[in-house]
Structure 1
Amino acid sequence: MWDRILSTGRRCWGFCVPDHSAAGGGNWQGWCMLLVEQATEHACLKAYRDGSFYGCLTGDGPFVEAFEATESSVSIVLNDSAEILFVADAQVVASVNDDRATFNVPQQDGSAAVTYVRVDVRHADGERLFLQPVRFQS
């Protein structure tokens, strides 16, 4: 559903919350990890407004050490190796098994040829990270 909304060009942040009713059980703690330099109230609220956070299922790692997005690339660095999936316009467009990866955003006439790119991380221990989408104006 998230990708269908994002494909329309709308901004839609993803939040992870505890879901104890999840089918099949599991450790679905649901954490939002803020990407802030200082743990102040102002910085935390700004991170939520700006989408400078990611969701995870358990909060037990891996963690995002760096994330950067430009008009031409999206890059991530983790503290541990995992499967890093880049999703653009509801399609997995790249997959890397490492602790870092960069996706070169396809271009058309000098602009991004996709509506958005988001990163989905899948760790061997079952942890999942869902980074906020990077939106591109077409």
Structure 2
Amino acid sequence: MRGEAIAAAARAWLGTPYRHQASVKGVGADCLGLVRGLWREVVGEEPEGVPPYSPDWAEAGGRELLREALERWLGPVSVEAMRAGDVLLFRMSPGVAAKHCAVLSAVEGPEPKMIHAYWGRAVVESWMGIWWRRRLVAAFRFPG
């Protein structure tokens, strides 16, 4: 049931404009800002500060900083066991760091659905079709 409550909380962010490094419902958020905002709503105070980061998801090389942070604070789950409310991590192209995250919002029906901040637009709910599933590298669950 907790996962469904997290998915419902994520739906309350729908329509929030995309703003790089922002994390304020209704005002602005990027994909990490959405997850940070949900953390504050369902867990409490953020456990660590977020250093400045580039909006370029196609940066090659370097450490997987987003993945490392998610592994520190959220529980890893297998992709096969993911459920509504879980945080998903995507690698947008081979050879680049995994830098896009989303919240799984529904698993029933022909395709799973996810909520994420879409660059240049807003926080949206979309189908997690084959294009997204091919880029999925990890799933995590909020603690508690």
Q: Of the two, which has the highest radius of gyration?
A: 1
Q: TM-score, normalised by structure 1?
A: 0.28
More helix by share: 2
More strand by share: 1
Q: TM-score, normalised by structure 2?
A: 0.28
Name the structure, 1 or 2, with higher relative contact order (CA <8 Å, separation 6+). Answer: 2
